[in-house]
Amino acid sequence: MKSPVIVFDLGKVLVDFDYSITARKIAARCQKSFSEIAEAIAQSHFIIDYEAGNLTRAEFFRHVQETTGFGGTLDEFGKFFADIFWPIPPMIELHAELRRRGFKTFIFSNTNDLAAEHIRRNFPFFRNFDGYIYSYEVHALKPEAKIYEALERLAGRRGAEIIYLDDRPENVAAGAKRGWRTILHETPEKSCQTLTALGIL
């Protein structure tokens, strides 16, 4: 068997996030309250459509304007929408250790272009992966098979040659069905213990 590759989900695994940060900033620029904005973001189908690559950035922004009454520019909104992340240091160190040990690593994320660009600009660790699969580029969201197939093609690995960490059980289950060795990420300690048991650490 080829040397395994290590595949990381992004949100809640390597970086944490909170959409209420966006809601507070938008609420300051429109007539609706924070709670109304937060509810609109939480229940909006257009965020899913945006991350699935079915809406452009400009189309997504128009939906936000129509829903919230936000009066700022697309550039202003982009900063509000994307600047909601902070790093998870033990997981970033885990990734660095895997790189030191010679493992190829990949990002595998349901995300959008605003978030991906922001994280790449602001988090140096993010540049040190061998490849990136983003839902908005593939036009498919985990746990759809299409995005898993894209990762396999990019990594040149299949089945047990892929070790995959994700915080969502349905995404992990879809990887396991393909024969990937999966880790349901709950805490950095548990994920490190599982990687140790697999002989990776």
CATH number, domain with residue 167:
3.40.50.1000
148-165 burial by CB neighbour count: b if 16+ within 10 A, else e?
bebbbebbebeeebbbbb
Which of 82, 97, 117 is where one domain is finished? Answer: 82
Examine the pLDDT at 43 and tell me if it is beyond 80. Answer: no
According to DSSP, the residues that pair with 132 across neighbouring strands are 107
What pLDDT does residue 120 have?
Answer: 97
pLDDT at position 49: 96
Range of 36's domain?
19-82
Closest Cα partner for 32 from 74, 68, 63, 81? Answer: 68
Residues 102 and 72 in one domain: no
Domain shared by 139 and 60, yes or no: no
pLDDT at 98: 98
pLDDT computed for residue 40 by the predictor = 79
Mean pLDDT to the nearest integer, 117-145: 97
Residue 1 has pLDDT above 80, yes or no: no
- The whole-number pLDDT of residue 44 equals 80
Check if the beta carbon of residue 173 is closer than 8 Å to that of residue 184.
Answer: no
**What's the whole-number average pLDDT of the chain?**
95
- The amino acid at 67: T
pLDDT at 151: 98
Of 48, 66, 82, the residue that ends a domain is 82
